[in-house]
Amino acid sequence: MSEAFATTRDPQRSRAAAWRDPALLDGEDGDRQFVTALARGLQVLRAFKDATEMLGNREIAERTGLPKPTVSRLTHTLLTLGYLVHGEDGERYGLGPAVLALSAAFLRQNSFPQMAKPYLQDLATAVQAHVALGLRDGLHSVYIQLWRGLGQTITLSREVGFHLPLARSAMGMATLAGMDEEQRAPLVERLRAESGADWPRLEATMARCAAEVADHGFCVGIGIWHPEINAVAAPVHSPGTRGLFAINVSGPAFLMTEAVLRRETGPKLLETIDRMRVLGIVDEIPRRGGG
């Protein structure tokens, strides 16, 4: 029987702050092409952490930082267009079929996730853990595909669309490590501004993970996102679009110890990436010394 494991986010982050992204709400100063109303509507959709969650206007306002009257108008518009649906109580909202249509269109236009699917499923079964493929979404990483090992008895309560903080997860750290300096620098500044007094610790973790990716091809996260969950992650590029993805393997800390991640899981992750690279499915991020 499967056992659902921890789902709690990092306790140091408020739930509201996790979903606010001022850069998405206001755009760049002086950008006359930026439509703030559209950005706010999209931010309402981003407030839903998964496809099954139901939220009221008050909860959406708390997560986005938008005024409740503004949220009320936005949810009405999104409901009318099919991007939101009413819950059974008539007060709360869930994501609608129009969102699913956009997601399906994205996956059809990006062949890499489908091409990687059998290899990452094999990896999940080999390590008996969760394997996820993710992309950066603002200051978060978002799961776009997720695999569980066949016969896996202990599972984490995560689904496609699950968000992880960029600076507080192995997947996020691997994503940052896979970027060039021009891409990474503005994100680091935003993370610095958001993190406050916690920044020195996060900066040190970021530097360690970047060094691990450069030297070994993967980085290890010991309780970065949750004290009872450990993970290993690696950045990869899709050859067609050069889009940056990250692959992570995660599980309960009492099973996936640091030693297991470094000696067994991480190397198996790299073996899987190498199999895909040989077939032209993925471009691996170059490493110092090639190993």
- pLDDT of res. 13: 41
pTM (two decimals): 0.76
Q: Are residues 212 and 193 in the same domain?
A: yes
Q: Are residues 95 and 122 in the same domain?
A: no
Q: Are residues 73 and 125 in the same domain?
A: no
Q: How far is CA 223 from CA 157, 161, 170, 228, 282, in A?
A: 16, 21, 9, 6, 28
Q: Which domain CATH number covers 27? A: 1.10.10.10
Q: Are residues 117 and 232 in the same domain?
A: yes
Q: Which domain CATH number covers 283? A: 3.30.450.40
CA separation for the pair 157, 162 (Å, rounded): 10
Q: Are residues 73 and 23 in the same domain?
A: yes
List the chain pLDDT tens, one digit each, 291 residues: 333 344 444 433 433 444 455 555 555 556 788 888 999 999 999 888 776 789 999 999 999 999 999 999 999 999 999 999 998 888 899 999 888 788 777 777 777 888 999 999 999 999 999 999 999 988 999 898 899 887 666 566 677 778 889 999 999 999 999 999 999 999 999 999 989 999 999 999 999 999 999 999 999 999 998 899 999 999 999 886 668 999 999 999 999 999 999 999 999 999 999 999 999 888 866 666 444
- pLDDT of res. 116: 92
What angle do the packed helices 199-216 and 170-177 form, to 10 degrees?
Answer: 70
Q: Are residues 9 and 128 in the same domain?
A: no
Sequence-separated (6 or more) residues with CB below 8 Å from residue 177: 209, 210, 212, 213, 214, 219, 235, 285
Q: Tell me which of 45, 80, 102 is where a domain ends.
A: 102
Tens of pLDDT along 232-281? Answer: 999 999 886 668 999 999 999 999 999 999 999 999 999 999 999 999 88
Residue 141: helix, strand or coil by DSSP? strand
Residue 226: which domain range?
110-290
Q: Are residues 82 and 123 in the same domain?
A: no
Q: Are residues 257 and 146 in the same domain?
A: yes
Phi-psi region of 126 (alpha: psi -120 to 50; beta: other; left: phi over 0): alpha
Taking alpha carbons only, the member of 235, 232, 233 closest to residue 253 is 232
Q: Are residues 77 and 168 in the same domain?
A: no
Q: Tell me which of 102, 126, 146 is where a domain ends.
A: 102
Q: Tell me which of 67, 102, 137 is where a domain ends.
A: 102
At 226, list the tokens. 């949750």
Q: Are residues 94 and 37 in the same domain?
A: yes
Q: Are residues 172 and 266 in the same domain?
A: yes
Give the chain's domain count: 2
Q: Are residues 197 and 165 in the same domain?
A: yes
CA separation for the pair 163, 274 (Å, rounded): 27
